[in-house]
Amino acid sequence: MSKPLLYRRSSIFSVILRIHKLRETESFVLFPGESSSRLQWTFVQVRHKSGGGGWRPKQKVYHRVHDLDKAIDLNKKPSLILQLKSIIQAQKHGSLLLRDLEKHVGFVHKWNLMAAIEKYPTIFYVGGGHKEPPFVMLTEKAKKIAAEESEATESMEPILVNNLRKLLMMSVDCRVPLEKVEFIQSAMGLPQDFKSTLIPKYTEFFSLKVINGKVNLVLENWDSSLAITAREDRLSREGFSESVGDRKRVRITKDGNFLGRNAFKISFPPGFRPNASYLEEFEKWQKMEFPSPYLNARRFDAADPKARKRVVAVLHELLSLTMEKRVTCAQLDAFHSEYLLPSRLILCLIKHQGIFYITNKGARGTVFLKDAYAGSNLIEKCPLLLFHDRFVALCGRKEVNLSNEMQSSSVFS
Protein backbone atom coordinates (compact mmCIF):
# COMPACT_ATOMS: atom_id res chain seq x y z
CA MET A 1 0.00 0.00 0.00
CA SER A 2 1.49 3.35 -1.02
CA LYS A 3 1.97 6.09 1.53
CA PRO A 4 -0.81 8.74 1.72
CA LEU A 5 -0.25 12.03 -0.09
CA LEU A 6 0.27 14.00 3.11
CA TYR A 7 3.25 11.78 4.03
CA ARG A 8 4.86 12.33 0.63
CA ARG A 9 4.29 16.07 1.01
CA SER A 10 5.98 15.95 4.42
CA SER A 11 9.14 14.36 2.99
CA ILE A 12 9.30 16.84 0.09
CA PHE A 13 8.88 19.67 2.58
CA SER A 14 11.75 18.38 4.71
CA VAL A 15 14.18 18.00 1.79
CA ILE A 16 13.62 21.53 0.50
CA LEU A 17 13.93 23.02 3.99
CA ARG A 18 17.25 21.22 4.47
CA ILE A 19 18.60 22.83 1.31
CA HIS A 20 17.59 26.36 2.19
CA LYS A 21 18.62 26.34 5.86
CA LEU A 22 22.26 26.52 4.67
CA ARG A 23 21.81 30.24 4.15
CA GLU A 24 22.78 32.18 7.30
CA THR A 25 21.07 35.52 6.89
CA GLU A 26 18.10 34.35 4.88
CA SER A 27 15.68 31.46 5.30
CA PHE A 28 13.06 30.19 2.94
CA VAL A 29 9.81 29.03 4.46
CA LEU A 30 7.64 26.79 2.32
CA PHE A 31 4.12 25.69 2.93
CA PRO A 32 2.13 23.21 0.84
CA GLY A 33 -1.24 24.25 -0.46
CA GLU A 34 -3.88 22.26 -2.28
CA SER A 35 -5.93 22.85 -5.37
CA SER A 36 -8.54 20.54 -6.81
CA SER A 37 -6.28 19.49 -9.68
CA ARG A 38 -2.70 19.35 -8.42
CA LEU A 39 -0.36 19.90 -5.51
CA GLN A 40 0.93 23.44 -5.22
CA TRP A 41 3.58 25.07 -3.08
CA THR A 42 3.62 28.60 -1.75
CA PHE A 43 7.20 29.90 -1.71
CA VAL A 44 7.95 32.79 0.61
CA GLN A 45 11.41 34.29 1.07
CA VAL A 46 11.90 35.38 4.65
CA ARG A 47 14.80 37.50 5.93
CA HIS A 48 16.03 36.72 9.44
CA LYS A 49 17.62 39.45 11.49
CA SER A 50 21.34 39.08 12.16
CA GLY A 51 24.35 41.28 12.86
CA GLY A 52 25.49 43.84 10.29
CA GLY A 53 23.70 46.48 8.28
CA GLY A 54 22.29 46.91 4.81
CA TRP A 55 18.69 45.92 5.47
CA ARG A 56 15.75 46.04 3.14
CA PRO A 57 12.46 47.56 4.42
CA LYS A 58 11.54 46.30 7.89
CA GLN A 59 8.17 44.84 6.90
CA LYS A 60 10.02 42.18 4.86
CA VAL A 61 12.05 40.99 7.84
CA TYR A 62 11.02 37.85 9.70
CA HIS A 63 12.88 37.92 13.00
CA ARG A 64 14.35 34.80 14.48
CA VAL A 65 13.42 33.79 18.03
CA HIS A 66 16.61 32.09 19.12
CA ASP A 67 15.07 30.63 22.27
CA LEU A 68 12.52 28.68 20.23
CA ASP A 69 15.19 27.64 17.71
CA LYS A 70 17.12 26.34 20.72
CA ALA A 71 14.06 24.32 21.84
CA ILE A 72 14.44 22.21 18.69
CA ASP A 73 18.10 21.51 19.49
CA LEU A 74 17.33 20.74 23.13
CA ASN A 75 14.89 18.02 22.03
CA LYS A 76 17.46 16.04 20.02
CA LYS A 77 19.13 14.25 22.93
CA PRO A 78 15.88 13.31 24.75
CA SER A 79 14.42 12.00 21.49
CA LEU A 80 17.36 9.62 21.01
CA ILE A 81 17.21 8.39 24.60
CA LEU A 82 13.44 7.84 24.58
CA GLN A 83 13.52 6.12 21.19
CA LEU A 84 16.18 3.69 22.34
CA LYS A 85 14.28 3.07 25.58
CA SER A 86 11.15 2.15 23.62
CA ILE A 87 13.06 -0.22 21.34
CA ILE A 88 14.68 -2.02 24.29
CA GLN A 89 11.39 -2.30 26.20
CA ALA A 90 9.70 -3.78 23.13
CA GLN A 91 12.10 -6.74 23.16
CA LYS A 92 10.95 -9.99 24.68
CA HIS A 93 13.60 -10.15 27.40
CA GLY A 94 14.18 -6.42 27.81
CA SER A 95 17.52 -6.47 26.03
CA LEU A 96 18.61 -5.82 22.45
CA LEU A 97 21.54 -7.31 20.56
CA LEU A 98 23.63 -4.45 19.21
CA ARG A 99 23.87 -6.17 15.84
CA ASP A 100 20.05 -5.98 15.57
CA LEU A 101 19.86 -2.22 16.13
CA GLU A 102 20.18 -1.54 12.42
CA LYS A 103 17.04 -3.59 11.74
CA HIS A 104 15.00 -1.17 13.85
CA VAL A 105 16.38 2.23 12.82
CA GLY A 106 18.45 1.77 9.68
CA PHE A 107 22.18 1.97 9.06
CA VAL A 108 22.65 5.75 9.39
CA HIS A 109 20.56 6.37 12.51
CA LYS A 110 22.09 3.31 14.17
CA TRP A 111 25.29 5.23 14.80
CA ASN A 112 23.44 8.04 16.59
CA LEU A 113 21.93 5.50 18.98
CA MET A 114 25.27 3.73 19.41
CA ALA A 115 26.78 7.06 20.46
CA ALA A 116 23.94 7.57 22.97
CA ILE A 117 24.55 4.10 24.44
CA GLU A 118 28.22 4.92 24.98
CA LYS A 119 27.55 8.42 26.29
CA TYR A 120 24.87 7.60 28.88
CA PRO A 121 25.98 4.60 30.97
CA THR A 122 23.60 5.67 33.75
CA ILE A 123 20.70 4.73 31.45
CA PHE A 124 22.05 2.01 29.15
CA TYR A 125 24.02 -1.05 30.23
CA VAL A 126 26.10 -2.94 27.65
CA GLY A 127 26.81 -6.62 28.33
CA GLY A 128 28.11 -9.67 26.50
CA GLY A 129 31.50 -10.36 25.04
CA HIS A 130 33.65 -13.40 24.33
CA LYS A 131 31.20 -16.10 23.25
CA GLU A 132 28.11 -14.02 24.04
CA PRO A 133 27.14 -11.31 21.48
CA PRO A 134 27.09 -7.77 22.91
CA PHE A 135 23.68 -6.46 23.96
CA VAL A 136 22.19 -3.35 25.54
CA MET A 137 19.56 -3.08 28.25
CA LEU A 138 18.33 -0.47 30.73
CA THR A 139 20.22 -0.03 33.98
CA GLU A 140 18.41 -0.92 37.21
CA LYS A 141 17.89 2.77 38.01
CA ALA A 142 16.49 3.38 34.53
CA LYS A 143 14.17 0.38 34.86
CA LYS A 144 12.83 1.74 38.12
CA ILE A 145 11.90 5.08 36.59
CA ALA A 146 10.65 3.45 33.37
CA ALA A 147 8.14 1.52 35.49
CA GLU A 148 6.43 4.86 36.23
CA GLU A 149 5.46 5.24 32.57
CA SER A 150 2.31 3.14 33.00
CA GLU A 151 1.04 5.58 35.62
CA ALA A 152 1.75 8.54 33.32
CA THR A 153 0.03 6.76 30.42
CA GLU A 154 -3.01 6.10 32.59
CA SER A 155 -3.16 9.77 33.61
CA MET A 156 -2.95 10.77 29.94
CA GLU A 157 -6.00 8.80 28.80
CA PRO A 158 -8.76 11.27 29.85
CA ILE A 159 -6.65 14.13 28.50
CA LEU A 160 -6.22 12.43 25.13
CA VAL A 161 -9.91 11.55 24.88
CA ASN A 162 -10.95 15.16 25.51
CA ASN A 163 -8.33 16.55 23.12
CA LEU A 164 -9.42 14.14 20.40
CA ARG A 165 -13.05 15.17 20.91
CA LYS A 166 -12.09 18.85 20.68
CA LEU A 167 -10.10 18.15 17.50
CA LEU A 168 -13.23 16.67 15.90
CA MET A 169 -15.53 19.36 17.29
CA MET A 170 -13.56 22.09 15.48
CA SER A 171 -13.83 20.37 12.10
CA VAL A 172 -16.64 21.46 9.79
CA ASP A 173 -18.31 18.03 9.70
CA CYS A 174 -17.19 16.77 13.11
CA ARG A 175 -15.04 14.15 11.44
CA VAL A 176 -11.43 13.81 10.30
CA PRO A 177 -9.87 11.19 8.00
CA LEU A 178 -8.14 8.60 10.16
CA GLU A 179 -4.88 8.94 8.23
CA LYS A 180 -4.68 12.60 9.26
CA VAL A 181 -5.23 11.73 12.91
CA GLU A 182 -2.43 9.16 12.57
CA PHE A 183 -0.24 11.83 10.99
CA ILE A 184 -0.56 14.04 14.07
CA GLN A 185 -0.85 11.31 16.71
CA SER A 186 2.72 11.65 18.00
CA ALA A 187 2.29 15.41 18.43
CA MET A 188 -0.93 14.86 20.38
CA GLY A 189 0.58 12.07 22.47
CA LEU A 190 -1.77 9.37 21.17
CA PRO A 191 -0.46 5.81 21.61
CA GLN A 192 0.57 3.88 18.50
CA ASP A 193 -2.36 1.49 18.92
CA PHE A 194 -5.02 4.13 19.64
CA LYS A 195 -7.21 2.74 16.83
CA SER A 196 -7.55 -0.61 18.56
CA THR A 197 -7.45 0.56 22.19
CA LEU A 198 -8.70 4.10 22.70
CA ILE A 199 -11.37 4.32 19.99
CA PRO A 200 -13.22 1.04 20.77
CA LYS A 201 -13.11 1.86 24.50
CA TYR A 202 -15.04 5.12 24.03
CA THR A 203 -17.79 4.25 21.55
CA GLU A 204 -20.01 6.92 23.12
CA PHE A 205 -17.58 9.54 21.78
CA PHE A 206 -16.00 8.06 18.63
CA SER A 207 -16.70 5.79 15.71
CA LEU A 208 -14.87 4.80 12.54
CA LYS A 209 -16.85 5.17 9.30
CA VAL A 210 -15.90 4.86 5.65
CA ILE A 211 -16.87 8.11 3.88
CA ASN A 212 -15.98 8.77 0.24
CA GLY A 213 -13.70 5.75 0.25
CA LYS A 214 -11.70 6.86 3.32
CA VAL A 215 -11.89 5.73 6.93
CA ASN A 216 -12.92 8.71 9.08
CA LEU A 217 -12.85 9.23 12.82
CA VAL A 218 -16.31 10.58 13.61
CA LEU A 219 -17.58 12.43 16.67
CA GLU A 220 -20.63 10.69 18.12
CA ASN A 221 -21.87 13.46 20.41
CA TRP A 222 -21.27 17.15 21.00
CA ASP A 223 -20.25 18.41 24.44
CA SER A 224 -20.65 22.16 24.94
CA SER A 225 -18.50 22.04 28.09
CA LEU A 226 -15.50 21.17 25.90
CA ALA A 227 -16.08 24.09 23.51
CA ILE A 228 -13.84 26.35 25.58
CA THR A 229 -10.52 27.34 24.06
CA ALA A 230 -7.15 27.30 25.81
CA ARG A 231 -7.05 31.09 25.37
CA GLU A 232 -10.39 31.50 27.16
CA ASP A 233 -9.31 29.14 29.91
CA ARG A 234 -6.10 31.13 30.45
CA LEU A 235 -8.10 34.34 30.85
CA SER A 236 -10.34 32.59 33.37
CA ARG A 237 -7.38 31.26 35.38
CA GLU A 238 -5.75 34.68 35.39
CA GLY A 239 -8.90 36.13 36.94
CA PHE A 240 -9.94 38.26 33.97
CA SER A 241 -13.16 40.19 34.55
CA GLU A 242 -15.09 41.76 31.69
CA SER A 243 -16.16 44.63 33.92
CA VAL A 244 -12.48 45.48 34.41
CA GLY A 245 -11.08 44.40 31.06
CA ASP A 246 -13.55 46.37 28.95
CA ARG A 247 -13.01 49.75 30.59
CA LYS A 248 -12.09 52.45 28.09
CA ARG A 249 -8.97 53.47 29.96
CA VAL A 250 -7.37 50.06 29.43
CA ARG A 251 -5.00 50.51 26.51
CA ILE A 252 -2.76 48.23 24.56
CA THR A 253 0.85 48.18 25.76
CA LYS A 254 3.95 48.59 23.62
CA ASP A 255 4.48 44.83 23.63
CA GLY A 256 1.11 44.40 21.89
CA ASN A 257 -0.76 42.94 24.86
CA PHE A 258 -4.22 44.07 25.81
CA LEU A 259 -6.44 43.05 28.74
CA GLY A 260 -9.64 42.00 26.99
CA ARG A 261 -11.82 38.94 26.43
CA ASN A 262 -11.08 38.96 22.68
CA ALA A 263 -7.34 39.52 22.98
CA PHE A 264 -4.49 37.10 22.34
CA LYS A 265 -1.32 36.99 24.39
CA ILE A 266 1.41 38.55 22.26
CA SER A 267 5.17 38.10 22.27
CA PHE A 268 6.80 40.16 19.55
CA PRO A 269 10.19 38.78 18.45
CA PRO A 270 13.39 40.49 19.62
CA GLY A 271 14.21 43.38 17.33
CA PHE A 272 10.59 44.02 16.31
CA ARG A 273 9.70 47.59 17.28
CA PRO A 274 6.10 48.51 16.41
CA ASN A 275 5.41 52.20 15.92
CA ALA A 276 2.39 54.11 17.23
CA SER A 277 0.24 53.67 14.10
CA TYR A 278 0.90 49.92 14.08
CA LEU A 279 -0.10 49.63 17.75
CA GLU A 280 -3.24 51.66 17.10
CA GLU A 281 -4.38 49.26 14.38
CA PHE A 282 -3.28 46.27 16.41
CA GLU A 283 -5.36 47.46 19.36
CA LYS A 284 -8.44 47.49 17.14
CA TRP A 285 -7.64 43.91 16.10
CA GLN A 286 -7.15 42.81 19.72
CA LYS A 287 -10.48 44.33 20.74
CA MET A 288 -12.41 42.94 17.76
CA GLU A 289 -14.89 40.21 18.60
CA PHE A 290 -14.73 36.97 16.63
CA PRO A 291 -16.66 33.68 16.43
CA SER A 292 -15.56 30.68 18.47
CA PRO A 293 -13.30 28.12 16.77
CA TYR A 294 -15.91 25.55 17.75
CA LEU A 295 -18.57 27.14 15.54
CA ASN A 296 -18.86 25.73 12.03
CA ALA A 297 -16.54 27.61 9.65
CA ARG A 298 -19.07 27.34 6.80
CA ARG A 299 -21.25 29.91 8.56
CA PHE A 300 -18.76 32.72 7.99
CA ASP A 301 -17.47 34.70 5.02
CA ALA A 302 -13.73 34.07 4.72
CA ALA A 303 -13.18 37.72 3.73
CA ASP A 304 -14.78 39.03 6.94
CA PRO A 305 -12.10 40.40 9.33
CA LYS A 306 -13.85 38.62 12.20
CA ALA A 307 -13.65 35.32 10.31
CA ARG A 308 -9.96 35.91 9.63
CA LYS A 309 -9.36 36.48 13.34
CA ARG A 310 -11.28 33.26 13.99
CA VAL A 311 -8.74 31.41 11.81
CA VAL A 312 -5.99 32.64 14.14
CA ALA A 313 -8.03 31.26 17.05
CA VAL A 314 -8.42 27.90 15.28
CA LEU A 315 -4.66 27.64 14.73
CA HIS A 316 -4.04 28.66 18.35
CA GLU A 317 -6.44 26.01 19.64
CA LEU A 318 -5.10 23.31 17.32
CA LEU A 319 -1.56 23.91 18.60
CA SER A 320 -2.89 23.96 22.18
CA LEU A 321 -4.17 20.41 21.75
CA THR A 322 -0.66 19.06 21.12
CA MET A 323 1.68 17.95 23.90
CA GLU A 324 4.51 20.36 23.16
CA LYS A 325 2.36 23.13 21.65
CA ARG A 326 4.12 22.80 18.31
CA VAL A 327 3.63 20.82 15.11
CA THR A 328 5.46 20.47 11.83
CA CYS A 329 4.27 22.68 8.99
CA ALA A 330 3.14 19.59 7.07
CA GLN A 331 1.03 18.39 10.00
CA LEU A 332 -0.68 21.75 10.30
CA ASP A 333 -1.31 21.95 6.57
CA ALA A 334 -2.92 18.49 6.58
CA PHE A 335 -6.05 19.99 8.18
CA HIS A 336 -6.76 22.58 5.48
CA SER A 337 -10.08 21.12 4.34
CA GLU A 338 -11.31 20.03 7.79
CA TYR A 339 -11.00 23.54 9.25
CA LEU A 340 -11.31 25.60 6.05
CA LEU A 341 -7.91 27.18 6.63
CA PRO A 342 -6.71 29.91 4.23
CA SER A 343 -4.91 28.73 1.11
CA ARG A 344 -1.86 30.85 1.95
CA LEU A 345 -1.56 29.68 5.51
CA ILE A 346 2.10 30.59 5.71
CA LEU A 347 1.25 34.26 5.21
CA CYS A 348 -1.27 34.11 8.05
CA LEU A 349 1.34 32.64 10.39
CA ILE A 350 3.95 35.22 9.37
CA LYS A 351 1.49 38.10 9.78
CA HIS A 352 0.80 37.00 13.34
CA GLN A 353 4.40 36.49 14.41
CA GLY A 354 3.53 37.71 17.88
CA ILE A 355 1.40 34.57 18.35
CA PHE A 356 3.15 31.94 16.19
CA TYR A 357 6.74 31.26 15.26
CA ILE A 358 7.97 29.26 12.28
CA THR A 359 11.44 27.77 12.39
CA ASN A 360 13.37 25.70 9.90
CA LYS A 361 15.71 24.31 12.55
CA GLY A 362 15.91 20.54 12.59
CA ALA A 363 14.83 18.14 9.87
CA ARG A 364 11.38 19.67 9.40
CA GLY A 365 9.78 23.10 9.50
CA THR A 366 7.99 23.63 12.83
CA VAL A 367 5.26 26.01 14.01
CA PHE A 368 5.37 27.05 17.69
CA LEU A 369 2.63 28.53 19.85
CA LYS A 370 4.65 31.30 21.48
CA ASP A 371 2.55 31.92 24.59
CA ALA A 372 3.11 28.29 25.66
CA TYR A 373 6.85 28.89 26.09
CA ALA A 374 9.06 30.79 28.49
CA GLY A 375 12.36 31.08 26.69
CA SER A 376 13.13 27.60 25.34
CA ASN A 377 11.00 25.79 27.93
CA LEU A 378 7.41 24.64 27.72
CA ILE A 379 5.45 26.23 30.57
CA GLU A 380 2.80 23.57 31.22
CA LYS A 381 3.53 19.88 30.71
CA CYS A 382 1.23 16.90 30.54
CA PRO A 383 1.94 13.78 32.67
CA LEU A 384 3.72 11.99 29.83
CA LEU A 385 6.14 14.87 29.23
CA LEU A 386 6.83 15.08 32.96
CA PHE A 387 7.70 11.38 32.91
CA HIS A 388 9.97 11.92 29.89
CA ASP A 389 11.79 14.66 31.80
CA ARG A 390 12.33 12.40 34.80
CA PHE A 391 13.72 9.61 32.66
CA VAL A 392 16.02 11.83 30.59
CA ALA A 393 17.25 13.49 33.81
CA LEU A 394 19.16 10.25 34.49
CA CYS A 395 21.76 11.41 31.98
CA GLY A 396 22.42 14.50 34.08
CA ARG A 397 20.04 16.87 32.31
CA LYS A 398 18.16 19.09 34.73
CA GLU A 399 14.37 18.77 34.83
CA VAL A 400 12.56 21.97 33.90
CA ASN A 401 8.94 22.52 34.94
CA LEU A 402 7.72 26.10 34.91
CA SER A 403 4.13 25.27 35.77
CA ASN A 404 3.02 25.65 39.37
CA GLU A 405 0.74 22.67 38.96
CA MET A 406 1.12 19.45 37.07
CA GLN A 407 -2.21 19.89 35.33
CA SER A 408 -3.10 23.55 35.53
CA SER A 409 -4.65 23.90 32.07
CA SER A 410 -8.11 22.76 31.06
CA VAL A 411 -6.43 20.86 28.23
CA PHE A 412 -4.66 18.87 30.93
CA SER A 413 -7.52 18.28 33.32
Q: Which tens digits make up the pLDDT trace of 229-240?
A: 999 998 888 877
Contact 206, 218 (CB under 8 A): yes
Greatest Cα pair distance, the chain, in angstroms, is 81
Is the pLDDT assigned to residue 62 strictly greater than 60?
yes
Q: Which residues contact 189 (CB under 8 A, 6 or more apart)?
A: 156, 159, 160, 322, 323, 382, 384
| pLDDT at residue 403 is higher than 60 | no
Q: Which of 265, 255, 180 has the alpha carbon at shortest distance from 217? A: 180
Q: How far apart are CA 231 and CA 355, in angstroms?
A: 12
Identity at 297, one-letter amino acid code:
A
Cα angle at 62 between 356 and 35, to 5 degrees? 65
Confidence grade of residue 368 (pLDDT, cut at 50, 70, 90): very high
Residue 227 has a pLDDT of: 96
Residue 26's DSSP bridge partners are 47
What residue ranges in 5-131 does DSSP mark as E strands? 26-34, 39-47, 95-97, 124-129
Cα–Cα nearest to 331, from 285, 295, 364: 364
Residue 400 in this model has a pLDDT that exceeds 70 = no
Contact partners, residue 198, CB within 8 Å, separation at least 6:
157, 160, 161, 164, 190, 191, 206
Average pLDDT estimate for 264-288: 90
Q: What is the mean pLDDT of residues 364-387?
A: 95
Q: What mean pLDDT do residues 266-283 have?
A: 88
pTM: 0.81
What share of the chain in percent tops pLDDT 70?
A: 78
Closest CA to 359 of 76, 28, 41: 28
Determine the average pLDDT of the residues in 304-332. 96
Domains of the chain, first to last: 72-138 (1.10.10), 150-224 (3.30.420), 225-238+253-374 (no CATH)
Q: What is the mean pLDDT of residues 304-326?
A: 97
| Backbone φ and ψ of 405, nearest 5° | -130, 150
The one-letter code for the residue type at 334 is: A
Q: What is the dihedral of CA 73, 51, 45, 340, to 10 degrees?
A: 50
Phi/psi at 186 (5° precision): -65, -40
Q: According to the model, what pLDDT value does residue 33 have?
A: 38
3-state secondary structure of 398: coil
The least confident of 69-83, 317-331, 395-409 is 395-409
For 141-184, list the strands marked E by DSSP.
Answer: 175-177
Separation of alpha carbons 179 and 156, rounded Å: 22
Residue type at position 25: T
Q: How confident is the model at residue 71 (pLDDT cuts 50, 70, 90)?
A: very high
- Composition of the chain by helix, strand, coil, percent to 5: 45, 15, 40
pLDDT level of residue 397 (50, 70, 90 thresholds): low
Alpha carbon distance 101, 194 (integer Å): 26
Q: Look at residue 187 and tell me whether its pLDDT is greater than 90.
A: yes
Distance between the two ends of the chain, CA-based, in angstroms? 39
Rounded distance between C-alpha atoms, residue 282 and residue 263, angstroms: 10
**Least confidently predicted of 59-73, 177-191, 198-212, 375-389:** 59-73
CA separation for the pair 188, 193 (Å, rounded) = 14
Give 89-137 pLDDT, tens digit per residue: 999 899 999 999 999 999 999 999 999 999 999 999 999 877 889 999 9
Q: How far apart are CA 332 and CA 381, in angstroms?
A: 21
Residue 192 corresponds to which amino acid? Q
- Asked whether 300 and 314 are in contact (CB, 8 A), the reply is no
Residue 61's pLDDT band, with cuts at 50, 70 and 90, is low
**Per-position b or e across 333-352, b if 16+ CB within 10 A of its CB:** bbbeebbbbbeebbebbbeb
